[in-house]
Amino acid sequence: MTSTTPRERYRTQVKAEIKAKAWEQIAVSGAPGLSLNAIAKQLGMTGPALYRYFSSRDELLTELIRDAYGSFSAAVAAAGEVDLAGLARVVREWALADPQRYFLTYGTPVPGYQAPEDTRATAQQVMDRLVAACAGLGPDPEMRAVRAWTRLHGVLSLELAGHFSGMDLDPSELFEAEVRSLS
């Protein structure tokens, strides 16, 4: 068991509060609208005080992205050994649970932001699981996995962005039809 000082616990708590406010801000204006100064004001602190916790917007974005990929990877790992259809459903459940987390990792890139290599490594773990799920479905499981990934994310992105509203269709049925067509 590791012991932390009151200062370390306070720092962890404030960082968590900053990230919570950042997620709220992203939900309203998207990741490009993320403002450390606005978060500082919401928390009753000065901009320079907040910069003691995150040195830049990009550092905060990186931590949010790491958290999102970690959450996604944990959801996929918790599913255990599942087939392609089961994995697709896990992806959809995770995305529907928090669309902003999904869009931060798989949506439009944030202008001027370059994700660190370790975030890509976490994303690769999920892709590796998808390739494994495609291994028994025929030749070239890597290409099958990439095709499945693009199709699933296409449907998910449209659903989460609300592009199916006003249409006479059930997004979950469309998703399931897409999943069936992948096998």
CATH of the domain at 137: 1.10.357.10
Q: What pLDDT is stored for residue 41 in this prediction? A: 95
Summarize pLDDT for 69-121 with one digit per residue, the tens.
989 989 988 988 889 999 999 999 999 999 999 999 888 888 888 888 888 88
Summarize pLDDT for 2-12 with one digit per residue, the tens.
668 999 999 99
Model confidence band, residue 136 (pLDDT cutoffs 50, 70, 90): confident
Question: With 90 as the cut, is the pLDDT of residue 61 above it?
Answer: yes
Total structural domains within the chain: 2
Residue whose entry in the numeric block shows the structure tokens 């976490």 = 122
Q: Residue 71 falls within a domain, yes or no?
A: yes
Nearest to 66 by CA among 26, 117, 15, 128: 117
Q: What pLDDT is stored for residue 116 in this prediction? A: 83
- Co-location of 122 and 155 in the same domain: yes
- Co-location of 71 and 33 in the same domain: no
Q: Residue 60 falls within a domain, yes or no?
A: no
Model confidence band, residue 42 (pLDDT cutoffs 50, 70, 90): very high
pLDDT: which is higher, 82 or 150: 150
- Co-location of 72 and 110 in the same domain: yes
* pTM strictly above 0.85: yes
Q: What pLDDT is stored for residue 2 in this prediction? A: 62
- Co-location of 73 and 33 in the same domain: no
Contacts of 43 (CB under 8 A, 6+ apart): 14, 17, 18, 21, 50
- Co-location of 51 and 70 in the same domain: no
Percentage of residues in the chain with pLDDT exceeding 70? 98
- Co-location of 78 and 155 in the same domain: yes
- Co-location of 25 and 82 in the same domain: no
Q: What pLDDT is stored for residue 87 in this prediction? A: 92
Q: What pLDDT is stored for residue 1 in this prediction? A: 54
- Co-location of 92 and 135 in the same domain: yes
Q: Residue 153 falls within a domain, yes or no?
A: yes
Contacts of 134 (CB under 8 A, 6+ apart): 84, 141, 142, 144, 145, 148
- Co-location of 2 and 48 in the same domain: yes
Q: Residue 127 falls within a domain, yes or no?
A: yes
CATH code, domain with 32: 1.10.10
Model confidence band, residue 182 (pLDDT cutoffs 50, 70, 90): confident
Q: How many CB atoms lie within 10 A of CB 6?
A: 7
Q: Residue 61 falls within a domain, yes or no?
A: no
- Co-location of 51 and 80 in the same domain: no
- 16: exposed, middle or buried (C-beta count within 10 Å: 0-12, 13-18, 19+)? exposed
Q: Which domain holds residue 131?
A: 66-182
- Co-location of 109 and 44 in the same domain: no
- Co-location of 16 and 84 in the same domain: no
DSSP SS3 for 88? helix
